[in-house]
Structure 1
Amino acid sequence: MTDAPREPSKSLPKPLSGPQKALRKLGLERAIDLALHLPLRYEDETRLQRLSEVRAGEVAQIEGVVTHCEVKISGHRQLLVTLDDGTDTCLLRFFTFYPSSQKALAVGQRIRARGEIKDGFNGLTMMHPAFHPAGGELAVALTPVYPTVAGLPQAYLRRAVQGGLSRAELSDTVPLNNLYEIWLQPTWNLREALLFLHNPTPDVALVTLQDHSHPAWQRLKAEELLAQQLSQLQAKRARARLRAPVLALGALHEGLLAALPFQLTPAQRRVSSEIAHDLARPVPMHRLLQGDVGSGKTVVAALAAAICIDAGWQCALMAPTEILATQHFAKLVSWLEPLGIKTAWLTGSQKARERREMLALIASGEAGLVIGTHAVIQDKVVFKNLALAIIDEQHRFGVAQRLALRSKLTAPTVHDEPVEGAAASTSSARTVEVEPHLLMMTATPIPRTLAMSYYADLDVSTIDELPPGRTPIITKVVNEARRDEVIARICAQLEAGRQIYWVCPLIEESEALDLSNATETHAQLSAALPGVMVGLLHSRMAVAEKKAVMSLFTAGQMGLLVSTTVIEVGVDVPNASLMVIEHAERFGLSQLHQLRGRVGRGAAASACVLLYSTGDAPRLSETARARLKAMAESNDGFEIARRDLEIRGPGEFLGARQSGAAMLRFADLALDGALLAWARRLAPLMLDQHPALAEKHVLRWLGGKAEFLKA
């Protein structure tokens, strides 16, 4: 009996080595990814310096003979090596070394060492210099030092980058005639720019490499910005080809306007009109509504929801915290329920029975409006005919969450011709799936350069005035040493019938950070203010406890609320007139502005006290000083946003949009406005006249990351 023929063995892919895994962790998978992985800095190994000519503080490469080598144990085990280059000697000191190091640095060996020169008690010294045997040719270019991760040595990374450079397809994708619009010397094509930046000649001025002002850097920054603009414009044009329900103004919108207990400001009327115009078109709205803290974005959202519901469709509003969602729910229900609108409520803390009831209302379409937290995007939530999604504080949601919401928002099909609502005739020969309208809201105003770059695919509406009756907030920066004075101010406010917030950065004591915490501060203030109800609010409390505390404070029964940043958004108590923020130097600028916006909501004069501490340091850091100074000088959220961009860059405004992979690695929006303007002008021309080049350009620079720009 013969054996059955064996199937040919299938070769399994070889497991990745440690450095290969590290490359993948850095996102360096394509040849072009490696080519675009540019150095953080450079080392000059193109020349040798004599010890008699070096100066303390400079980085130098020296060559000499080892005249002494010993391991010394005096407090710390260290390897001490004396190197003589014929003009002077230098002590090389190593606290981490191996037996192989001792062998390579044995007496009589001739080596090259590179490091920072220090003028020590025993003469010239280098701490942990890089070294290797002398001999061989000197480098002909500056040696690049790349961003890396654990398990990825510089030598391996340099070889990988050089390999990527040799394999990458680097033909120009920008038409040459368009380069002349901005370059004085359009001689640097992409290949030349990359080759130079990976291997710059020693005669280049290092400062032009460090500040990215060299023409090679300018070429890369311009191309990167162009890729971003092309991607955003592609997304905008793609949405313009999609269909959306046509939601026309109706009686419900007018009824809500008439029922409101206040008049809209001119800015609110203007942005409401912009949104209504978008909703009446058969293409999906993709609009960002920005307005300062307390500018009245919620009522604008309610008016948009009324238009949607009146047309026979559903609207969903998602907020990042339960406190903010609760605030929206209370306001919208008070405005819309008297007009006959049923509202469903979804949060993660709901009991199972209540959740089932809400899901049934949503699935049947009985609930015209759905308000909630992340629970709105859970798999079990099924809408009957969702046509408008509103995301509040959109930067607080991650990319994955925003994309999940968009993928969930699949409304029924509509006819190929524009329709007025969900109940149109089905006589059309062809129907198409629709994409619901999307309105994103933020109380963190977007600086102009960010709006032109990361939000270029959005239409932006701005509420640029506050409702009447809002009092200006006085902001004081106070040293922690004056804490007793602040408590005395609190007593005066309480006697006047006012309420106070006291915000702390931590919930409980931390060994890592010596910061005052909410629980300890609550105990101290309770003892200092006998007879006053002092509440405590933080994220680890049960939902029922949070609601009970907030109810007491909102009703005016609680005089002082000690809280963590859970009150950053969504808390509206007009009687609160004083905000104290402890360890204010630890907070971000936009977060400080949001917290300050919890007061000044009534007619009483309001104040915000920024308590700061320098700890063991003699003074605050420059960044902390700049933040506190900006807060003291301005109440304008747009000015605060501009300064925050200057101080910290765009990350604070973008939230998780970048998903850990910076969409702009090289360009600086604060410095490269001219390049950004050039990219904005060129993007539509390229898409219209050179679509293949445009597609190639986006793929080269963004690969699969372009979706994060569209989220």
Structure 2
Amino acid sequence: MSNDESKASVKPVKAEKSAPQRAMEKLGLLRDIDLALHLPLRYEDETRITRIADARDGEPAQVEGVVTDSRIEFRPRRQLVVRLDDGSDELVLRFLHFYPSHQKALAVGKRLRVRGEPRGGFLGREMVHPAFKPVDEDTPLAAALTPVYPTSAQLPQAYLRKAVTSGLSRASLDELLPPAMVPRHLPTLKEALHFLHHPAPDVSLATLEDHSHPAWQRLKYEELLAQQLSQLQAQRERAALKAPALRARPGGLHEKLLAALPFALTKAQHRVAEEIAHDLARAQPMHRLLQGDVGSGKTVVAALAAAVAIDAGWQCALMAPTEILAEQHFRKLVGWLEPLGIGIAWLTGSRKGKARTQMVERVRSGEAQLVVGTHAVIQDDVQFAKLGLAIIDEQHRFGVQQRLELRRKLESAGGEALEPHLLMMSATPIPRTLAMTYFADLDVSTIDELPPGRSPIVTKVFADGKRDDVIARIRDEVERGRQVYWVCPLIEESEALDLRNATETHQQLVEALPGHQVGLLHGRMPAGEKAAVMGLFTGARMSVLVSTTVIEVGVDVPNASLMVIEHAERFGLSQLHQLRGRVGRGSVASVCVLLYTPPLSDTGKARLKAMVETTDGFEIARRDLDIRGPGEFMGSRQSGAPLLRFADLAEDEALLREARRVAPQLLDRHPAAARAHVARWLGGKAELLRA
């Protein structure tokens, strides 16, 4: 083979990334600005030396001395024991895990600088596994506090510190914001970041740790402003789009639906239905959130909106997160709308083969004016003839990426340069500060009253030891002809959690309630079996339904008067509230029993206390936000998108209000600066925040 041929056969080898580089990518540290904004969790003070005699037990200290003894001992296990003397006193350094390199660095006669927490020990005062480094007598001390960064096992602190310092030096930190649009008492972004990465030794650690220092305030303000700008840009972009104007006709389909309903709407339902109808009549896309507590009657408001769209000659799609919830909607909507001559299609993951093909064809041809289903509604093969309105129920249960997928689906529908209207529904009310941030580009309609005749729900908390008493109460309820839910968190044994499974509980209740039908419902059952079980329960032929959380939302059985939630400490607060809302839907006095297994964590105690103290969904949402943060409300778990990294919605409302005030001014007067600010803070994630 000639030299030329051998050269031609050699392919360039792509450099393999090191473990730390891969770990940095996983943490999202891709740009210099990402590194600059990767702030310390805490700090270590390596700017001063404390005499061993003056070091206090339990308080971090840095000492320096000479090794006088270094040996391996075996009591009770192999360990390296080193004695350090600084002239004022001696200190024992104890290492339970060590390597030959440690023995060499900690040899007799070596001068060491050591950092750790001294405490009383068997051989005198000691530090266990302290940080140490060999030094000379004239080795200078650190000039600033040493940052400790959030990291992973594959990313050593030393590597990350070096990378952050390098990124900080390269990042463009020029002021993008006009001085008049930054609160006066705050430093520049560059000053704030340099200070937070390398704070002076005399600064109050408390103000750094509680994020009240002006440098922290500047970062929080910048982050909130970027988020507000992103939402405002999305709102303005949406306002520039065109949508079909869907006007309600006097005597039209929505009025026929109102006349046919077996109940009267509440004032709140009338009000929000009018707000939605007003949006639909405009030639720009509606982007509205319909929120209301459990049982407030959102489905009928959605049906009225669908009637307006269909009457105007357009299709409507309703998407729910679970098949059971989608089926509940389907049944109600069929009952209300089919008698009015509306064609309805049903699309879920379990509908396959010829039945699915027929439904998809009905949607494509326009024969199906209303399409109800799960994620199956947004699959590639589903094409709408003329989609005018999309309704997403329990929108926070869909991941951000799924919501974006739906929007893209809608944007391509209809063959015209029109965007369909979007109505999102949630039974998890949005706390005010959250609405001001992540829902800033949404119009919000709130149903703030329950239909008349609903019975109040009493919530009681018992330890699992009272299980037999609870079963006795169930026996009383079913003897009176009432129905009961029993909800379990798992359907099969988990050694890690050691929870009773739904199957075991079902068997226990079957044995305890002879003569009464006890059903079992869980996510792994075939759709047909689920439907059969739900049919028996909703038809009052089944007394007790043992279920996993598939019945969390949408199930409406007015005769159900008792809800038992097993291992209630394992559920989130909003989920407990949703489950509780399955009872109290008729005129019968209802009880929700929360069974827990001690000991309870502080979070578990806070959740159960909130459930006993209030049935107000807005108060529940506020407390849930305090306990868990904003992630659950945004469906961010499914997307991996970060929410607020620095700002705290509970503590930083003043900064949020200022960011809301400044955002439109910045966008109007300095559009280039506004775009650069969003790019700096959000990069490619801006779209995720707008979904």
Query: TM-score scaled to structure 1, two decimals?
Result: 0.94
Matching residue of 2:358? 357
Shift of 1:411: 5.6
- Report whether the alignment pairs 1:398 with 2:399: yes
Equivalent in the alignment of 1:249: 248
Question: Which among 487, 490, 494 is matched to residue 503 of structure 1?
Answer: 487
- 1:340 equivalent to 2:341? Answer yes
Q: Which secondary structure does the structure 2 equivalent of 1:264 belong to? A: coil
Per the alignment, residue 178 of structure 1 pairs with: 181
Following superposition, the deviation at residue 8 of structure 1 comes to 13
1:537 Cα shift?
1.1
User: Do the aligned residues in 2 keep the contact of 1:395 with 1:657 (CA within 8 Å)?
Assistant: no
Partner of 1:46: 47
Deviations 1:264-304 (A, max 9, x none): 11111111111111111111111111110001010111111
1:190 aligned partner, one-letter code: L
Residue 628 of structure 2 corresponds to residue 648 of structure 1: yes
- Stretches of structure 1 that go unaligned for 5 or more consecutive residues are 415-431
Compared with structure 1, are the counterparts of its residues 4 and 128 closer, same or farther at alpha carbon in structure 2 (3 Å cutoff)?
Answer: closer
Match of 1:154 among 157, 170, 177: 157
Report the alpha carbon displacement of residue 15 of structure 1 after superposing the two structures with TM.
3.2
Counterpart residue type for residue 449 of structure 1: T
The DSSP-based 3-state class of the residue aligned with 1:390 is strand
Using the alignment, how far apart are the partners of 1:513 and 1:413 within structure 2? 50
**Equivalences for 1:307-456 in 2 at 5 Å?**
307-410=308-411, 433-456=417-440
Structure 2, unmatched stretches of 5+, are: none
Of 610, 620, 624, 2:594 maps to 610
Q: Distance in 1 between matches of 2:638 and 2:688?
A: 6
For residue 686 of structure 1, what is the aligned residue in structure 2?
666
- 1:539 paired with 2:489, answer no
Describe the shift of the 1:551–1:413 C-alpha distance in structure 2 as closer, same or farther (beyond 3 A). Answer: closer
Please point out which of 552, 573, 581 is paired with 1:597.
581
Other-structure match for 1:461: 445
Rounded Cα–Cα distance in structure 2 between residues aligned with 1:10 and 1:278: 60
Task: Check the 8 A contact 1:252/1:310 in 2, yes or no.
Answer: yes
CA contact (8 A) 1:522 1:562 kept: yes
Q: Secondary structure at the match of 1:312?
A: coil
In the alignment, the residues of structure 1 paired with residue 434 and residue 638 of structure 2 have an alpha-carbon distance, to the nearest angstrom, of 13
Partner secondary structure for residue 662 of structure 1: coil
* Residue of structure 2 in register with 1:708 after alignment: 688
C-alpha separation in 2, matches of 1:71 and 1:378: 65
> Contact 1:580–1:611 at 8 Å: present in 2 too?
yes
Query: Contact 2:563 / 2:593 at 8 angstroms: preserved in 1?
Result: yes
Partners of 1:696 and 1:672 lie apart in 2 by 24
Aligned-CA RMSD value: 1.8
Three-state SS of the structure 2 residue aligned to 1:126 is strand
| Greater displacement, 521-530 / 40-49 | 521-530
Inter-partner Cα distance in structure 2 for 1:12 and 1:466: 67
Matches of 1:78 and 1:4, distance apart in 2:
60
Cα pair 2:242 2:285 within 8 Å, conserved: yes
Contact 1:535 1:560 in 2 (8 A): yes
What does 1:199-278 correspond to in 2, within 5 Å? 199-250=198-249, 251-278=252-279
Choose which of 646, 651, 656 in structure 2 pairs with 1:676.
656
Provide closer, same or farther for how the CA distance between residues 402 and 76 of structure 1 changes in structure 2, counting only shifts above 3 A: farther
Determine the structure 2 residue equivalent to 1:636.
Answer: 616
Distance 1:612 1:4, change over 3 A: closer
Quick one: which amino acid aligns to residue 571 of structure 2?
F
- Quick check: 1:411–1:436 contact (8 Å CA) kept in 2? no
Letter in 2 for 1:230: L
- Aligned letter for 2:518? V
**Could you tell me how far apart the structure 2 residues matched to 1:133 and 1:4 are?**
53
Percentage of identical aligned residues: 69
- Return the alpha-carbon distance in structure 1 between the equivalents of residues 193 and 244 of structure 2: 48
Which 10-residue stretch deviates more, 60-69 or 43-52? 60-69
**Aligned equivalent of 1:667:** 647
Q: Which has the higher mean CA deviation after the structures are superposed, 274-283 or 47-56?
A: 47-56
Instruction: Give the counterpart of 2:676 among 696, 704, 710.
Output: 696
Shift of 1:22: 1.4
Residues 559-607 of structure 1: CA distance to partner in whole angstroms, max 9, x if unpaired? 1111111111121111100011111111110010000000000110001
For 1:570, give the aligned amino acid: G
Whether contact under 8 Å (1:508, 1:520) holds in the other structure is no
- Is contact 1:305–1:315 with CA below 8 Å preserved after alignment? yes
Moved more, 522-531 or 640-649: 522-531
Q: 2:148 aligns with which of 140, 145, 149?
A: 145
From 595, 602, 608, the equivalent of 1:622 is 602
Q: CA deviation at 1:80?
A: 2.1
Alignment partners' CA distance in 1, 2:83 and 2:508: 60
Aligned length: 685
Of residues 136, 156, 165, the one that matches 2:168 is 165
Q: In the alignment, is residue 526 of structure 1 matched against residue 510 of structure 2?
A: yes
Contact 1:396 1:656 in 2 (8 A): no
SS at match of 2:401: helix
| Deviates further, 121-130 or 624-633 | 121-130
Q: Is the Cα contact below 8 Å between 1:46 and 1:202 reproduced in 2?
A: yes
For the residue of structure 2 that corresponds to 1:481, the secondary structure is helix
Distance 1:501 1:75, change over 3 A: farther
Secondary structure of the residue aligned to 1:409 is helix
**In structure 2, what is the Cα distance between the partners aligned to 1:663 and 1:412?**
31
